[in-house]
Amino acid sequence: MASSFAEKKTLLFRRLKYMLRRPKPPMLAAPFNGPVVVVGSAPVSHIPVDFDRTFRVITINGSQAVTRKWGIAVPDITFMQYRQLDGLNTNALEVRRVLRGERTGMLYVLLWRKGMKSLNEHLKAFDFSYDRVQIVNRYERIALVEKVCGLQVFELDAMSKCSNGVIAVLFALLNGATDVIISGINPNSTGHVYNQENLSRLHVQMDSEMLLALVRQGYPVYTADPEVAQSVGLPLWKGKATATNLTASTGAAEHMR
């Protein structure tokens, strides 16, 4: 009963705060005008068919360990969860290890509450740099999900919110991506490509449901990983020509007007 009351209180507080703040989702100064690949850190990932310089690349936390092997020195955008900067758990320590000395274009740090000065101090501690940086708070995340999907997800617990990878997919769609291809994002897998700890994933059900909902609504969302196509049910990315024909037939852009 106490837990239920606490959850209801938190939900009411977040609803009210969201209504009063009227936050805007994160937006790029210049929108995408081509395909975007969102790269996660699952143990298995594949470079998308027809991948070339017209693709924009979004990495999640430590997934530059993947894109580095693709020959990408600096991703266009990185989404980083705040715990990766100051956490002492195994995954946070590993993320900082693989990102030491790396750089990104646009850095979005999710849910950081200690201010920009502290943020830069933590990034400097493992020599990670950026061209531009923006902190994205909880309510801007909620606004992003609502803008793209029409759902208000108030993130009461890990099971009821999207992973950073899915948040990046929504961000890419909202910012004009013609196609969004995920690689190394598998809700059903465990472990990370940059360590052997076989750590479990949160958000499993929510991620699967959200990705499939996007596809059902006609959004151009694909996976480059055959095993994800089979286990989750996402369409497999087979190249630009096939995707262009499919997107034209669905008219997915109408959903965000």
Domain of residue 128 covers 34-244
Both tokens of 121, joined, read 């101090």
Closest CA to 164 of 235, 255, 77, 103: 77
Asked if residue 2 is part of any domain, the answer here is no
pLDDT tens digit string along 132-145?
999 999 999 999 99
CB proximity list for 54: less than 8 A, separation 6 or greater: 34, 35
Asked if residue 18 is part of any domain, the answer here is no
Identify residue 246 by its one-letter amino acid code. L
Asked if residue 123 is part of any domain, the answer here is yes
Number of domains in the chain: 1
Determine the Cα–Cα distance for residues 62 and 48; give it in Å rounded to an integer.
Answer: 19
Asked if residue 4 is part of any domain, the answer here is no
Asked if residue 25 is part of any domain, the answer here is no
Asked if residue 159 is part of any domain, the answer here is yes
Q: pTM here? A: 0.89
pLDDT tens digit string along 166-185?
999 999 999 999 999 999 99
Asked if residue 26 is part of any domain, the answer here is no
* CATH number of the domain bearing residue 100: 3.90.1480.10
Question: In b/e form, how buried is each residue of 54-72, taking b as 16+ CB within 10 angstroms?
Answer: ebbbbbbbbbbbbbeeeeb
Asked if residue 15 is part of any domain, the answer here is no
Edge-to-edge strands, sheet with 103-110: 129-136, 103-110, 77-81, 56-60, 36-39, 180-183, 221-223
Identify residue 255 by its one-letter amino acid code. H
Name the stretches of the chain with pLDDT < 50.
1, 192, 198, 253, 255, 257
CB 144 within 8 A of CB 171: yes
Rg (the chain; Cα; Å): 18
